[in-house]
Amino acid sequence: MRKFCISLFILSLAVAGNAQASENLQFLRQMSDGFAEVVAQVKPGVVKITTEGTVNVEGRSRTPWGDFFELPDQPRERDGQGAGVIINFNGDQYIITNNHVISHADNIRVEMTDSRFFEAEIIGRDSLSDIAVLKVDTEDLPTVALGDSDQLREGEWVMAIGSPLTFSHSVSTGIVSGLGRKRFFGEYGSFIQTDAAINPGNSGGALVNLHGELVGINTAIVSRSGGNIGLGFAIPINLVKDVVEQLVEHGEVRRGLLGVKIANLDPLVAETMGLDRNHGVVIDEVTSEGAADKAGVKVGDVVLAIDGQPMRNSTELRDRIGRTAPGTEVELLVLRDGKEKRIKVELELRTEEALASGRSHDNAEAEQEVLGLKVRELTDELARRLRYEDEDGVVVARVERGSEASRRGLRRGMLIQEVNRKQVETVEDLEDALAEIEPGDAFMMRVLGQRGTRLIGMRMPVN
């Protein structure tokens, strides 16, 4: 009898185990079906983009005296590819993509999943956010529903759809790895980080949640090899909505300007202020006669919130101000001398002239995260210390280990004087020169170091 009971017990465990296995398989099949349904819903609204264009390449003699004899600039054909997403906006259909996908395009063609293709025209483009809006001469195209990127959570499943390396309308899956990531070259806004595979050709494609909603526009990767290593970045769709609205309605993007130089709150500085956390943004400089100066903002103020929304870091503050129309009055909650203070500021219009008036060339610095560099202006003090008197350029303040800059030989203390034979005198000059270089393109820097002047060849990491 005892043996019979034991056998019965073992049999019941086996049956239970089989039932559990069956339930697990059923769950996996349902999950697989869910992914497939999202792809079927979204994929028709994602297009492949191919471009044709010409760029002027600086002429140079191929003789041994090439540095002394200049030739006229030579036009060179440049073809490109990427992806785009069809959306509905105010009753019309538009295609969103990255500005860098179509930046040098004379002709733009979009290809649908059903093999139809159309010539596209540019409605508007914005280099600061890297967003462009296109339109084709047809109606009733499949569209992708817009989601809410503010509701994204780290760890949430997402899917990336684009055309990497000529493989049209490819799909990859992953999670949201991080939110509010800093832009690489100080551009406007922040990034969503994902480990969904993104490769060259994915730029401008869709990042969607499992509801089939567009939550981001895939834009960039960080990679030492040029391919995906799980560090992909997308522009949040809520930022995209703001840019698209202004490009469609006004043909340009008008942004607010606070008129300050800002930095993240250092943990030790937070401790000395009696704060129990390092959330906040420090005002390092205030532009004379700018919006903040007129309102009474002071150097050393720590911005804790804008209109009641907490500001955890400089990326969030820059994003919030940039998404607010000029002329809007915002309320800053600042910490000054240990006390909270509310200051109302009417934002100015962000223009190149306004930015230039607020720059301090003695203290200006910038991080070029794609290359792994931190640079700063060559002040009189630095010139004396580094023995760069009578020289122009920007000083390399830090080089990230393993970065493109490090591998190519850039070192702390070197002076960058030219990029692709264009003179560099300020941080702004360097940023402008690097912004003209397409991902994957080779370029050269002329640098001055302890061993004299040398040319360093580099390659812009692929987006």
Tell me phi and psi for residue 242, to 5 degrees: -60, -45
102 exposure class (CB count in 10 Å sphere: 0-12, 13-18, 19+): buried
What's the first-to-final CA gap in the chain, in angstroms? 72
List the one residue out of 384, 376, 356 whose CA is nearest residue 426.
376
Tell me the C-alpha to C-alpha distance, in Å, between residue 148 and each of 173, 207, 209, 239, 340: 19, 12, 10, 10, 32
Instruction: Determine contact, residues 48/168, Cβ cutoff 8 Å.
Output: yes
Distance between CA 417 and CA 175 in Å, rounded? 42
H or E element in which residue 34 lies:
helix 2-42
Q: Is 130 a catalytic residue?
A: yes
Which residue in the list 163, 203, 314, 403 is annotated as catalytic? 203
List the one residue out of 223, 220, 222 whose CA is nearest residue 234.
220
List the one residue out of 392, 446, 438, 440 whose CA is nearest residue 419.
446
Distance between CA 180 and CA 346 in Å, rounded? 25
Q: Is 279 a catalytic residue?
A: no
Tell me the C-alpha to C-alpha distance, in Å, between residue 82 and each of 143, 168, 201, 387: 18, 9, 4, 46
Query: Which amino acid type is present at position 251?
Result: G
Torsion 132-137-142-145 (CA) sign: positive
Distance between CA 63 and CA 72 in Å, rounded? 15
85 exposure class (CB count in 10 Å sphere: 0-12, 13-18, 19+): buried
H or E element in which residue 12 lies:
helix 2-42
List the one residue out of 205, 154, 158 whose CA is nearest residue 181.
154
Q: Is 195 a catalytic residue?
A: no
Tell me phi and psi for residue 388, to 5 degrees: -110, 30
Which residue in the list 126, 130, 195, 429 is annotated as catalytic? 130
Instruction: Determine contact, residues 146/215, Cβ cutoff 8 Å.
Output: no
Place of tokens 């019979």: 4
Instruction: Determine contact, residues 133/239, Cβ cutoff 8 Å.
Output: no
Tell me phi and psi for residue 216, to 5 degrees: -165, 160
Torsion 374-301-351-245 (CA) sign: positive
What is the token pair recorded at 308? 């009641």
Residues annotated as catalytic (active site), given as ranges: 100, 130, 203
